[in-house]
Amino acid sequence: MGQQLSYKTFIIKILEDTRNSFSLSDSTSNSSDCYSSENSDGFVLTKYLLQTTNISEKIVKQVCIAGTGAITRIHERSCVLSNDQVTICCGNTVFSLTLPDLKLRWKTKADDASCFGIFQYKNDYILHGELAISKLDNTGNILWQFLSDDIFTTTSGKDNFKIEDNYIHVTNWNNILFKLNAETGQQLESISG
């Protein structure tokens, strides 16, 4: 599994380490830098290799990122590319790296379990986590978090999170739909399904 993004004259490749190796030292990246979640003690469940390649496909830089918490996968909502940086969910942590040199700007543990997806919201980020919906500023500070009585996913796992205008609509495991103010995180409505 992986994802490929275009940035100026570069290609950013994000690849999963699928060897089911839980040690940080077992990374397949052969990279000079590996950024990990706080308090990982070398034990991680999710590892990604990020590569920047130029137009002739020569590797300019590669790093690994490693997250604790639940295992996450790369998909269309696992990262955001903006303002000369890539911001990506990995396990329970969000990492922000500069482009094209992939230097760590910041990392934030944004959920106790896992980060399902990240969305650009004005100059900030909205994070769809397993246990929390969060808003992070562009330096990784958590501005607010919203928790419910159960996890923010549904039995189908589909169509349970969207941002429209200044509102977040998210459904939890108990099939309760929450409407949140995206600026403040305040719950505006909850509807049992």
154 contacts 175 by C-beta, under 8 angstroms? yes
Per-residue model confidence (pLDDT) at position 25 = 54
Per-residue model confidence (pLDDT) at position 169 = 97
Tokens of 43: 């034990």
Per the structure, the count of domains in the chain is 2
- Last residue of a domain, which of 43, 78, 109? 109
pLDDT tens-place string over residues 53-74: 998 999 999 999 999 888 888 9
pLDDT tens-place string over residues 139-168: 999 999 999 999 999 988 777 999 999 999
132 contacts 114 by C-beta, under 8 angstroms? no
Identify the CATH number of the domain in which residue 30 sits. 2.40.10.480
28 pLDDT band, cuts 50/70/90, is: very low
- Last residue of a domain, which of 77, 109, 141? 109
For residue 171, pLDDT over 90 is answered with yes
pTM over 0.85: yes
102: left (phi over 0), alpha (psi -120 to 50) or beta: left
**For residue 100, what are the domain limits?**
2-109
117 contacts 133 by C-beta, under 8 angstroms? no
The length of the chain in residues reads 193
- Whole-number Å distance between alpha carbons of 70 and 51: 24
